[in-house]
């Protein structure tokens, strides 16, 4: 940086605040938007909301207002006039604004305020123009950069231009901007060269071409950035050279399994099982992501996959994100697989030491075939005799980090276990390709037959009484219901207290209705007991915090009230609502909101009422929130892009994938430089 003219301590400090430490950082600091100062607009052509460059002579100058003075100059370009309004101005400024002075201004056009007719600009950028200079304008669009206090756009523009010149004129320096994309790729996709693209973005040509050139340059850089992300994850796929245990399906056990199941599998479930079978029979470790909307029946697919492993003499570990869900899976697996002679175990961080010892021993000696649990499963003390398959449910609850680390929990024979990762949060294709570039993907795109859509209504909390009455009637029909209390200002304690109070209030308001309570501060055993009792029909109404968000499956519970749904994101609401609509009859979701709703909250609830398609909801969620929060990214820093925009650039992803494969195969020397250019320090996250 210090190679640039006029960069001293203060400026350096401010640049560093923006994360700009080197010239390389500086040229990759791209504009937020552009201003067109290449054309002087006629004042009579200006419309409300335009950002425009104008030039004219000062006609009159007035100071207006009584308590708050403002200075208004009227500027005329020969055809029309416009007011320039300044609320803050110095005496010197006022002194120079005199009738007859030629000014050039850039600003936003508005309707004149204060009861006056005509147009105005408030605090435009302006300068006096010498008469010889009249009409001479900028040659390119003017970039507007992300900046920080005290760092003027004008200075930032000049520094970036100087940095570009430096790279252009100095061949040694230029090597830092090497174009790592092979020529054939750049030509094949009709992209501009790297330097040209960067240059265009900092000073786009004026006129009708500008949008096109900006677009091309942006696509080129977005492509490179997405490619870098993709490559950094794909390295894991390449490292999949360890052998996996060979597994073969067993027809006898499978028939017995079908006989135990109370339903037939859907075509989608069968297709996905076939894909998994194929992977398990191969020599490479399976790395498969199973996507299926809430209620699509992923658990039974997991059970079938586990059965193949067990039939082939291997052990299976199944990990769920919460104790509640792990326990529920444990019960399901016991029911389905014990009749087939499979030994199913349960491991939890909160078990009594003696119970835990017993399970650990059974795992080490191979007595237990399948173990269900939380992340406690992957502690060092857990040793398997022959682990062949790892299944992770509701993957989105774990970070990319954790998932990659789990691969190392292998068998003692040096084999690498197969891995099946399941998620109900439908991951938009765009994100799936990046966050899960190392996984193959299977999708269950069909719900079990007979499901009716959940009827969703939104009501203000002033109608709470009606909702309570509705629960009364519902329970009268021998059906069950959930009442969900949402998070209060990120405080678990307050949320739990709110749930307790709600449970008390509902118990009082609904005599004869048996109310159970589950929240995050209860002991695991208590929670499990309450859940179990609710499932077996001992209670009619379950009041809960969002702990029941994932996986909980009680088909007879067909009514859900969500209090303050405006506090939750769309995907989370969709997950919650997925708890109902699992049985035969009609089902309902009541969104009991606190008015007034913000604009986005209104949009979110509207989307939820309009659709039940998890993919549509996920895409909308992404649009409304941005990808940041989506994958639990806060833990990984994965999805922060500089240029790329997953929605705008999703069309590039197929090419990104092909080119990534190309490079890894034919030009591996380009891979590291690309990754470090775009991910920099962030690349480390992937190295676990
Ligand atoms: P999720 O994909 O959300 O994990 P689950 O595996 O919990 O869904 O399944 C939801 C419910 O649907 C469960 O009660 C399960 O037993 C039932 N189910 C799964 N597959 C079928 C099927 N093919 N036909 C009928 N019911 C099914
Ligand atoms: Mg599930």
Is position 661 within any domain?
Answer: no
Query: Is 88 in the same domain as 114?
Result: yes
Q: List, in order, residues 6 or more apart from 320 with CB less than 8 Å away.
A: 326, 329, 372, 373, 374, 393, 394, 551
Tell me: the pLDDT tens digits for 183-215? 888 999 999 999 999 999 999 888 777 888 888
Q: How far is the CA of 263 from the centre of ligand 1 (A)?
A: 9
Distance CA 133, CA 474 (A): 80
- Tell me what percent of the residues of the chain surpass a pLDDT of 70: 88
pLDDT value of position 550: 66
Distance CA 621, CA 628 (A): 11
Residue 301 CA: nearest ligand 1 atom is: 6
Q: How far is the CA of 551 from the centre of ligand 2 (A)?
A: 4
Q: How far is the CA of 300 from the centre of ligand 1 (A)?
A: 7
Query: pLDDT band at 73, cuts 50/70/90?
Result: very high
Which residues are near ligand 1 (CB < 6 Å)?
Answer: 263-266, 269, 292, 294-300, 424, 448, 551, 553, 555, 582
What is the helix (H) or strand (E) element at residue 649, kind and residue range?
A: none
Query: Residue 320 CA: which ligand is closest?
Result: 2
Query: Is 520 in the same domain as 385?
Result: no
Question: What residue's CA is closest to ligand 1, atom 9?
Answer: 297
pLDDT value of position 427: 62
pLDDT value of position 299: 95
> Mean pLDDT across the stretch 269-294?
91
Query: Residue 303 CA: which ligand is closest?
Result: 1
Question: What residue's CA is closest to ligand 1, atom 24?
Answer: 448
Query: Is 387 in the same domain as 490?
Result: no
Query: pLDDT band at 395, cuts 50/70/90?
Result: low
Query: Is 352 in the same domain as 463?
Result: no
pLDDT value of position 24: 87
Question: What's the mean pLDDT when you consider all of the chain?
Answer: 84
| Crossing angle of helices 599-610 and 570-577, rounded to 10° | 40
Query: pLDDT band at 317, cuts 50/70/90?
Result: very high
The total number of structural domains in the chain stands at 3
Is position 389 within any domain?
Answer: yes
SS3 178: coil
Above 60 in pLDDT, residue 493?
Answer: yes
Q: Look at 404 and 45; give whichever has higher pLDDT.
A: 45
- Tell me what percent of the residues of the chain surpass a pLDDT of 90: 40
User: 392 with 398: CB under 8 angstroms?
Assistant: yes
The Cα angle at residue 403 between residues 399 and 405, in degrees rounded to 5 = 115
Question: What residue's CA is closest to ligand 1, atom 26?
Answer: 448
Distance CA 532, CA 324 (A): 10
User: 398 with 321: CB under 8 angstroms?
Assistant: yes
Query: What pTM, to 2 d.p., does this model score?
Result: 0.61
Query: Is 284 in the same domain as 362?
Result: yes
Residue 555 CA: nearest ligand 1 atom is: 14
Query: Is 48 in the same domain as 116?
Result: yes
Q: In a mutational test of the pocket of ligand 1, which residue from 297, 551, 574, 581 has the highest number of ligand atoms less than 8 Å from its CB?
A: 297
Query: Is 402 in the same domain as 469?
Result: no
Where is the domain boundary, 577, 611, 645?
611
Q: Supply the range of the domain harboring residue 321.
A: 251-444
Among 35-44, 110-119, 296-305, the range with the most confident prediction by mean pLDDT is: 296-305
Q: Phi/psi at 10 (nearest 5 deg)?
A: -60, -50
Question: Exposure of 468 by Cβ count < 10 A (0-12 exposed, 13-18 middle, 19+ buried)?
Answer: middle
Q: How far is the CA of 183 from the centre of ligand 1 (A)?
A: 51
Is position 675 within any domain?
Answer: no
Query: Residue 263 CA: which ligand is closest?
Result: 1
Burial state string for 554-583 with b = 16 or more CB within 10 A and e = fewer than 16: bebbbbbbbbbbbbbebbbbbbbbbbbbbb
Residue 578 CA: nearest ligand 1 atom is: 3
Q: How far is the CA of 425 from the centre of ligand 2 (A)?
A: 10
C-alpha atoms less than 13 angstroms from C-alpha of 156 in its C-beta half-sphere: 26
> Mean pLDDT across the stretch 401-415?
56
Q: How far is the CA of 256 from the centre of ligand 2 (A)?
A: 23
Is position 215 within any domain?
Answer: no
> Mean pLDDT across the stretch 289-309?
92
Query: Residue 554 CA: which ligand is closest?
Result: 1
Distance CA 581, CA 447 (A): 11
Where is the domain boundary, 101, 122, 137?
137
Instruction: Answer left, alpha or beta for residue 341, where phi above 0 means left and psi between -120 and 50 means alpha.
Output: left
pLDDT value of position 687: 30
Above 60 in pLDDT, residue 103?
Answer: yes
Q: In a mutational test of the pocket of ligand 1, which residue from 295, 306, 327, 426 has the highest number of ligand atoms less than 8 Å from its CB?
A: 295
Is position 189 within any domain?
Answer: no
Distance CA 517, CA 147 (A): 50
Question: What residue's CA is closest to ligand 1, atom 16?
Answer: 297
Where is the domain boundary, 74, 106, 137?
137
Other CB atoms within 10 A of residue 328 CB: 22
Q: How far is the CA of 294 from the centre of ligand 2 (A)?
A: 7
Query: Residue 290 CA: which ligand is closest?
Result: 1
Distance CA 312, CA 415 (A): 14
User: 403 with 420: CB under 8 angstroms?
Assistant: no
> How does DSSP classify residue 628?
G
Q: How far is the CA of 296 from the centre of ligand 1 (A)?
A: 6
Is position 343 within any domain?
Answer: yes
Q: How far is the CA of 376 from the centre of ligand 2 (A)?
A: 19
Query: pLDDT band at 407, cuts 50/70/90?
Result: low
Residue 264 CA: nearest ligand 1 atom is: 23
Query: Is 290 in the same domain as 265?
Result: yes
Q: In a mutational test of the pocket of ligand 1, which residue from 258, 265, 291, 299 has the highest number of ligand atoms less than 8 Å from its CB?
A: 299
Distance CA 377, CA 375 (A): 5
pLDDT value of position 526: 85
Query: Residue 574 CA: which ligand is closest?
Result: 1
Q: Look at 135 and 369; give whichever has higher pLDDT.
A: 369
Alpha helices per DSSP H over 170-266: 171-174, 183-188, 194-202, 210-238, 251-260
> The dihedral of CA 78, 82, 87, 88: what is its sign?
negative
Tell me: the pLDDT tens digits for 126-181? 888 887 777 777 788 888 888 877 888 889 999 999 999 988 888 777 777 888 99
Query: Is 257 in the same domain as 388?
Result: yes
Question: What residue's CA is closest to ligand 1, atom 15?
Answer: 297
Question: What residue's CA is closest to ligand 1, atom 17?
Answer: 297
Q: Look at 439 and 44; give whichever has higher pLDDT.
A: 44
Residue 393 CA: nearest ligand 1 atom is: 4
Is position 678 within any domain?
Answer: no
Above 70 in pLDDT, residue 631?
Answer: no
Above 90 in pLDDT, residue 43?
Answer: yes
Q: List, in order, residues 6 or more apart from 607 with CB less than 8 Å away.
A: 570, 616, 617, 620
pLDDT value of position 374: 86
Query: Is 401 in the same domain as 463?
Result: no
Residue 444 CA: nearest ligand 1 atom is: 2
Q: How far is the CA of 575 from the centre of ligand 1 (A)?
A: 15
User: 411 with 429: CB under 8 angstroms?
Assistant: no
pLDDT value of position 439: 73
Distance CA 153, CA 148 (A): 9
Q: What is the CATH number of the domain that holds 285?
A: 3.40.50.300
Query: Residue 444 CA: which ligand is closest?
Result: 1
Residue 292 CA: nearest ligand 1 atom is: 2
pLDDT value of position 349: 78
Distance CA 442, CA 573 (A): 24
Query: pLDDT band at 396, cuts 50/70/90?
Result: low
Query: Is 408 in the same domain as 377?
Result: yes
Query: Is 375 in the same domain as 467?
Result: no
Strands 287-292 and 51-64: unpaired
Residue 294 CA: nearest ligand 1 atom is: 3
Q: How far is the CA of 334 from the centre of ligand 2 (A)?
A: 16
pLDDT value of position 559: 96
Q: In a mutational test of the pocket of ligand 1, which residue from 448, 550, 555 has the highest number of ligand atoms less than 8 Å from its CB?
A: 448
Q: What is the CATH number of the domain that holds 117?
A: 2.40.50.140
Is position 585 within any domain?
Answer: yes
pLDDT value of position 191: 94
pLDDT value of position 557: 93
Q: How far is the CA of 470 from the centre of ligand 1 (A)?
A: 27
């Amino acid at each position: 940086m210090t190679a640039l003219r006029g960069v001293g301590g203060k400026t350096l400090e401010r640049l560093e605040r923006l994360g700009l430490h080197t010239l390389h950082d500086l040229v990759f600091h791209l504009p937020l938007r552009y201003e067109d100062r290449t054309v002087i607009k006629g004042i009579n052509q200006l419309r409300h909301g335009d950002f425009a460059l104008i030039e004219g002579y000062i006609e009159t100058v007035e100071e207006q207002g009584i308590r708050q003075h403002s200075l208004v100059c009227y500027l005329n370009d020969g055809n029309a006039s416009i007011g320039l309004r300044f609320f803050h101005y110095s005496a010197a400024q006022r002194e120079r604004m005199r009738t007859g002075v030629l000014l050039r201004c850039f600003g936003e056009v508005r309707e004149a305020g204060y009861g006056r007719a005509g147009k105005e600009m408030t605090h435009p950028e302006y300068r006096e123009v010498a008469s010889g200079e009249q009409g001479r304008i900028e040659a390119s669009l003017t970039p507007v950069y992300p900046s920080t206090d005290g760092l003027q756009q004008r200075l930032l523009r000049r520094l970036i231009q100087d940095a570009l010149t430096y790279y252009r004129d100095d061949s040694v320096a230029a090597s830092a901007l090497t174009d790592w994309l092979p020529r054939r790729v750049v030509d094949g996709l009709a992209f501009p060269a790297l330097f040209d693209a960067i240059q265009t973005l900092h000073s786009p040509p004026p006129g009708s071409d500008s949008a096109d050139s900006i677009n091309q340059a942006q696509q080129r850089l977005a492509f490179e950035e997405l490619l870098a992300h993709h490559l950094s994850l794909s390295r894991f796929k390449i490292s999949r050279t360890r052998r996996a245990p060979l597994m073969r399906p067993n027809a006898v056990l499978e028939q017995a399994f079908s006989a135990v199941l109370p339903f037939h599998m859907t075509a989608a479930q069968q297709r996905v099982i076939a894909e998994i079978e194929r992977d398990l029979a191969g020599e490479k470790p399976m790395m498969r992501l199973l996507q299926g909307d809430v209620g699509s029946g992923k658990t039974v697919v997991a059970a079938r996959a586990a059965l193949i492993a067990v039939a082939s003499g291997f052990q299976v570990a199944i990990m769920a994100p919460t104790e509640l869900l792990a326990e529920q899976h444990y019960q399901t697996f016991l029911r389905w697989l014990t009749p087939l002679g499979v030994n199913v175990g349960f491991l939890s961080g909160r078990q009594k030491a003696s119970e835990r010892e017993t399970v650990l021993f059974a795992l080490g000696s191979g007595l237990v075939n399948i173990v269900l649990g939380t992340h406690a499963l992957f502690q060092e003390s857990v040793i398997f005799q022959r682990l062949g398959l790892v299944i992770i449910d509701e993957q989105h609850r774990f970070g990319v980090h954790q998932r990659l680390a789990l691969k190392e929990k292998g068998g003692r024979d040096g084999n690498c276990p197969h891995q099946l990762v399941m998620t109900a949060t439908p991951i938009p294709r765009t994100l799936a390709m990046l966050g899960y570039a190392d996984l193959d993907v299977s999708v269950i795109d069909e719900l079990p037959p007979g499901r009716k859509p959940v009827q969703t209504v939104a009501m203000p909390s002033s109608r709470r009484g009606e909702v309570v009455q509705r629960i009364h009637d519902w329970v009268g029909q021998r059906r069950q219901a959930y009442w969900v209390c949402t998070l209060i200002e990120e405080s678990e304690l307050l949320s739990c207290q709110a749930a307790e109070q709600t449970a008390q209030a509902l118990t009082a308001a609904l005599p004869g209705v048996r109310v159970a309570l589950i929240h995050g501060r209860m002991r695991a055993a208590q929670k499990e007991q309450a859940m179990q009792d609710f499932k077996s029909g001992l209670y009619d109404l379950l009041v809960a915090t969002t702990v029941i968000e994932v996986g909980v499956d009680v088909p007879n519970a067909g009514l859900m009230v969500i209090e303050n749904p405006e506090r939750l994101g769309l995907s989370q609401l969709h997950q919650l609502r997925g708890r109902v609509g699992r049985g035969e009859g009609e089902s309902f979701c009541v969104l009991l909101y606190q008015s007034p709703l913000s604009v986005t909250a209104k949009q979110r609830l509207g989307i939820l009422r309009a659709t039940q398609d998890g993919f549509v909801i996920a895409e909308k969620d992404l649009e409304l929130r941005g990808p940041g929060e989506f994958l639990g990214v806060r833990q990984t820093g994965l999805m922060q892009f500089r240029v790329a925009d997953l929605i705008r650039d999703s069309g590039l992803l197929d090419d990104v994938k092909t080119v990534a494969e190309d490079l890894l195969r034919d030009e591996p020397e380009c891979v590291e430089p690309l990754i470090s250019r775009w991910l920099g320090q962030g690349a480390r996250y992937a190295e676990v």
